[in-house]
Structure 1
Amino acid sequence: MEEEEDEYMILQIMGWCFGFLVLYILVKLVHSIWWKPKSIEKLLRKEGIKGTSYKAIKGDIPDINKCAREASSKPITLNHQIVPRVMPFFHKMVQQYGEVSVSWFGRKPRVTIVDAELIRLILSNKSGQIIKPPREPYVKLLTKGLTSLEGEKWSQRRKAVTSAFLLDKLKGMLPAFSYSCGTMIERWKKKVEQKNGGWCELDVTCELDILTGDVISRAGFGSNYQEGKKIFDLQKEMAILVHDALTNIYIPGFRFIPTKKNKRRYKLDVQIKGILMDMIQKKEHAMKADGSSSDLLSILLECREQRNSLTTNDVIEDCKLFYFAGQVTTKNLLAWTMVVLSMHPNWQEKARHEVLELFGTNEIPPDFEAINRLKIVSMILLEVLRLYPPVPIISRYTTCETKVGGMTIPAGVELVLPMLLLHHDGRYWENPQEFNPERFTQGVSKATKDQNAFFPFGWGPRICPGQSFAHLESKMALAMILQHFSFHLSPSYTHAPCTRLTLSPQHGAPIIIQRISI
């Protein structure tokens, strides 16, 4: 009898435990799915922030995807009013709710801010209250490295990476820039010679892929495009898979389910890391034999030896980031520049006149001071960066209740800073949809109406460390193209800017090039 009572008591206790566990899980789910988002929504409303109301689980994701599908389904006319196509949902939010608004990516609250002063405050924050958003596991497969760090770890790594882009290092990279650009020019000359009409049609996105890949490989890793091509191809595929994951709700733990896409993502990651490990081992042997070098990989390996905090895996992650970010952003900048100069042949001629006046038909020397005398070319690149910034959106995240201007933003809110909208905002720019490089005649600080609203590479302590590298590479490449070729849009070109992690031409950029006669 006593044994039966004991068994009954044990079963009763187990039943209570199970009941409490179920209740705990239900409470956590209700808190996560409903109570917490609604509490944040209430706090944001108190601050006068308008926007969409929270909808359980999905939030605004269906509307975001619908807007993106509709916008990408058809090209636009040949102009620079690209915001409604590139960022249709955020464009709609600003039109309906103003420069500060709230929306929902699933359960995540997003506060979109299109105000230059507030954006500067957010990007300049060093308190630790505003950080880079916690990375989705899928994003970490593509780019991790420096961009994923905070605090002292970020500070140490930033110093190491920044040292690779100091002035003396950039000057040392110019011969690599010149060689890669010269190789592309010779390739284009041969393509034109093969045509009886003296002209040739190229998809410049593919051609500039090769150029920027070769520059990254030579200047960053002491190799060449053919050695880095496998990494570029794998990263392009990874970028597509990551973008696909980011447009859907992330379910915790789903990445461990062996779906076809998940298996492919992790296989790509293993392959990329394996190739980079081989490159690191080769570089280590070369450094032992020949001493130090000035490329990024050598500098990171030297820092690894000097600092115990930097591991081989850290070096691999920074290499992944540099390969992806360094190539794709510069490629898109140059592609958009050729598209824009095809749309505005008068500016193409002005830039060509400047290049020929400075360098004639001689090979452009890898000389830092000479390249810096290209004022019109530089102004054109800045204006293209304004109209077609490589990264249209920057995001930050509040770790605790934070003051942003006069607003109090609760913890756990993603701050969305759509740079593309800011760059096209008539409050800061005269005739913002007009291509007018002359607005940069007196530099960036004087280009806007009253305050700086130009952030193509970010702002503050986390501004892109490679922006000087990208600008110098772009100036040399554009100067050498202008020196040898005139170009205009192919009849097959369709104007369809779109965001695939970066701002790129959805259907490529077919352009007709022709040798110039001096």
Structure 2
Amino acid sequence: MDIPSNLLHNCSINSERQNITVLSVMSPIGVALMVLSFVVLWLIGKLAICVWWRPLMLERELRRQGINGPPPLLLLGNYVEIIRLENIQRSIDMDAFRHDIFQRMLPFYTKWCKTYGRRFVFWEACEPRIAVTEPELIREVFSSKLALAFGKSSLHQRCCENLLGKGVAMANGESWAHQRRTIAPAFHADKLKGLAGIMMKCTEQTILRWETSLQQAEAVGKDEVEVEICHDFGVLTADIIACTEFGSSYDKGKRIFDLLTSLQELTLTFAHFVWLPGSRFLPTSWNRETWRLKREMEKLLKEIIEERRDLLKMGKIESYGDDLLGLMLTESEGGSALGDSNHDISGIHSKRDKGHAAIRRPCFTTQQIMDECKTFFFAGHETTAGLLTWCILLLAAYPEWQEKARQEVLEVVGDIRHHENGGRKQFTELADALPKMRTLGMIINETLRLYPPAIVITKYALEDVRIGGDLKVPRGASVWVPVLAMHMDSELWGTDAHLFRPERFQHGVARACKHPLAFMPFAHGPRNCVGQAFAVMEAKIALSIILPRYSFSISPAYRHAPITLLTLKPKHGAQVLLQRIRRQKEAPSPS
């Protein structure tokens, strides 16, 4: 039976219309699936490159140079073994107040050093760390010529992203150079001298709290009281940072400190999972709490920044000021000329600087200002609080050095009593007298040698770098410097390297050991700690006020168990017995 041609034609048209309709319905879904497939494949490919291909290439490059180490696990590296060895060592307290803490703090280094030699490679997640302890190699790595070639690894940046953001401590390359030049003037000696009054006032507040405790003890017939100096010095240094960084916004600064303390604890939790790709985006309980704390902290920082800007707009202040916040706000309004020598960093210039002395650097954004504030608040507080804590513990354990330091302070400046009215001359006199306190300086240096704030320093290669002639550090690898190992090396310091002997510094650092790079509590070179002079000055002022008034001894409650919580701290706090020093005649203050 023949089918009419017009019917066939109509059927064909209807079929095409149906196909077009189906395609028009399926097309968005198909496109979406296709895009999703490409995205998934791209992510898988990128993940494979990051966790397998790139580490494999780096491992082969290092092995070609004869640099071996423990075999890494996929994605984890040697992280599991590092944590296992650390947990074994740190699960028990030390049996006495000894200072040979190297094995306790870096057990994996001592183990692998015996197996593979002093130069070996180990892996933190997918990033290789080349352990280096040769002083001349370290000098080159920390030199000005390689300041832009080394920086912070992406692993460290991710770990500290919420705590420090992209401040100077975490920045790399030209961004770091610009930030460092901008904030460096805030730490010049003449600027720091003007902060002596704030440091004295804050120390007096700590003393008032101790006096209250002593009076309560004396009321029941006791002449000494136990104080927890780790906590007390944490409060003291937080007060000083809040006053020097935020000025009139002190209360908000204190709240920011509390938020940063909570963020620090969460950062330590997150550090155990930072190796997992995308872990910082997962809605875990600690991530959600981290995001909440970060939002609140940045809200407060923005309020402080806007308050300072409003004061200038209303004419209540003539400039933003010369403190750290003021310098960054000035930079945010237009930057400073690149040719200004005050912003130079030991001859370091970014590529953009060369031949363009008249151009201006990029301005600081509000986010950058907040990140710098967080960095200074955290680093400034942690470093000095730790230094003061370990210093008092050591002086409590070695009363002969405690008395030497006390007598020096009395001879140089007397028993300082801060007076609210007319004390400016006293502040200046104390600041000018600090360099004369050589014994106190030796004690501080020896404290920093035995208990440095950071026990390791990692320098990430942003490009292929050759050092020492025979070592090529490929891009993506890091030079890992065990600072504590350098400070405890008997070949560099002598057989008494594990002992507290401040007199080794009586002729300066250069003559205290066989190589100047054997002592680096604040790192070295252009990327050293920008606030190290601030920290040492703060510690000297606090000690020069405290020592003439009180004597210290180790409390029976103290358990010696140093631990790294971003910086080196006593695990169970630092309990000492505080006793008032009574004199028949007060030592006179200098005229």
TM normalised by structure 2 equals: 0.82
Q: Deviations over 1:277-317 (max 9, x none)?
A: 12222333445413333322122222222325211221111
Q: How does 1:8-87 map to 2 (within 5 A)?
A: 29-76=47-94, 77-87=96-106
* Pair 209,379 (structure 1): closer, same or farther in 2 beyond 3 Å: same
Distance 2:241 2:35 in 1: 59
Q: What letter matches 1:467 in structure 2?
A: Q
| Deviation at residue 227 of structure 1 after TM alignment | 3.9
Distance 1:362 1:138 in 2: 43
2:299 maps to which residue? 274
Match of 2:511 among 436, 443, 446: 446
Q: How does 1:21-420 map to 2 (within 5 A)?
A: 29-76=47-94, 77-127=96-146, 128-134=148-154, 135-144=156-165, 145-196=167-218, 197-223=222-248, 226-287=251-312, 288-292=315-319, 293-307=321-335, 309-363=363-417, 365-366=426-427, 367=429, 368-405=431-468, 406-420=470-484
Q: Deviations over 1:463-501 (max 9, x none)?
A: 111111111010010111111000011101000111011
Q: Deviations over 1:61-81 (max 9, x none)?
A: 111111122222111121101
Please say which of residues 80-89 and 261-270 is displaced more in the overlay.
80-89
Q: Deviations over 1:9-66 (max 9, x none)?
A: x9xx999999998887766555443343233222212212121123222221111111
Q: What letter matches 1:332 in structure 2?
A: G
What is the SS of the residue equivalent to 1:282?
helix
| Deviation at residue 508 of structure 1 after TM alignment | 0.5
Please say which of residues 25-34 and 310-319 is displaced more in the overlay.
25-34
What is the SS of the residue equivalent to 1:59?
coil
Q: Deviations over 1:101-122 (max 9, x none)?
A: 1111222211121222212211
Q: What letter matches 2:363 in structure 1?
A: S
Match of 2:526 among 461, 464, 478: 461
| Deviation at residue 339 of structure 1 after TM alignment | 0.9
Please say which of residues 449-458 and 173-182 is displaced more in the overlay.
449-458
Match of 1:421 among 459, 479, 485: 485
* Pair 152,199 (structure 1): closer, same or farther in 2 beyond 3 Å: same
Q: What letter matches 2:112 in structure 1?
A: M
What stretches of structure 2 of length at least 5 have no aligned partner?
1-11, 336-361, 419-425, 584-591
| Deviation at residue 85 of structure 1 after TM alignment | 1.6
Match of 2:540 among 475, 479, 485: 475
Q: Is the 8 A contact 2:249 2:304 kept in 1?
A: no
Distance 1:179 1:511 in 2: 23
- Identity of counterpart residues, as a percentage? 35
Q: Is the 8 A contact 1:399 1:411 kept in 2?
A: yes
* Pair 225,111 (structure 1): closer, same or farther in 2 beyond 3 Å: same
Distance 2:552 2:98 in 1: 18
Q: Is the 8 A contact 1:486 1:515 kept in 2?
A: yes
Please say which of residues 368-377 and 151-160 is displaced more in the overlay.
151-160
Q: What letter matches 2:541 in structure 1?
A: M
| Deviation at residue 382 of structure 1 after TM alignment | 0.6
Q: What letter matches 2:445 in structure 1?
A: L
What is the SS of the residue equivalent to 1:483?
coil
Please say which of residues 305-314 and 381-390 is displaced more in the overlay.
305-314
Q: Is the 8 A contact 2:121 2:131 kept in 1?
A: yes
| Deviation at residue 223 of structure 1 after TM alignment | 3.9
* Pair 186,31 (structure 1): closer, same or farther in 2 beyond 3 Å: closer
Distance 1:315 1:268 in 2: 18
Distance 2:480 2:305 in 1: 36
Q: Is the 8 A contact 1:160 1:299 kept in 2?
A: yes
Please say which of residues 103-112 and 73-82 is displaced more in the overlay.
103-112
* Pair 167,84 (structure 1): closer, same or farther in 2 beyond 3 Å: same
Distance 1:517 1:22 in 2: 74
Q: What letter matches 1:254 in structure 2?
A: S
Q: Deviations over 1:154-175 (max 9, x none)?
A: 2222122111111221111111
What is the SS of the residue equivalent to 2:579?
strand
Q: Is the 8 A contact 1:401 1:410 kept in 2?
A: yes
* Pair 380,38 (structure 1): closer, same or farther in 2 beyond 3 Å: same
Distance 2:480 2:524 in 1: 14
What stretches of structure 1 of length at least 5 have no aligned partner?
none
| Deviation at residue 150 of structure 1 after TM alignment | 2.8
* Pair 447,15 (structure 1): closer, same or farther in 2 beyond 3 Å: same
Distance 1:370 1:31 in 2: 58
| Deviation at residue 251 of structure 1 after TM alignment | 2.6
Distance 1:515 1:415 in 2: 48
Distance 1:314 1:424 in 2: 38
Q: Is the 8 A contact 1:172 1:294 kept in 2?
A: no
What is the SS of the residue equivalent to 2:577?
strand
Q: What letter matches 2:490 in structure 1?
A: G
What is the SS of the residue equivalent to 1:202?
strand
Q: What letter matches 1:496 in structure 2?
A: A
Q: Deviations over 1:331-370 (max 9, x none)?
A: 0000000111111111111111111222333437323221
Distance 1:400 1:172 in 2: 41
Q: Is the 8 A contact 1:445 1:452 kept in 2?
A: no
TM normalised by structure 1 equals: 0.92
1:485 maps to which residue? 550
Distance 2:39 2:366 in 1: 43
* Pair 66,230 (structure 1): closer, same or farther in 2 beyond 3 Å: same
Please say which of residues 140-149 and 160-169 is displaced more in the overlay.
140-149
* Pair 229,403 (structure 1): closer, same or farther in 2 beyond 3 Å: same
1:434 maps to which residue? 499
Please say which of residues 375-384 and 450-459 is displaced more in the overlay.
450-459
Q: What letter matches 1:83 in structure 2?
A: F
RMSD: 2.8
Q: Is the 8 A contact 1:115 1:422 kept in 2?
A: no
What is the SS of the residue equivalent to 2:273?
coil
Distance 1:39 1:152 in 2: 28
Please say which of residues 244-253 and 156-165 is displaced more in the overlay.
244-253
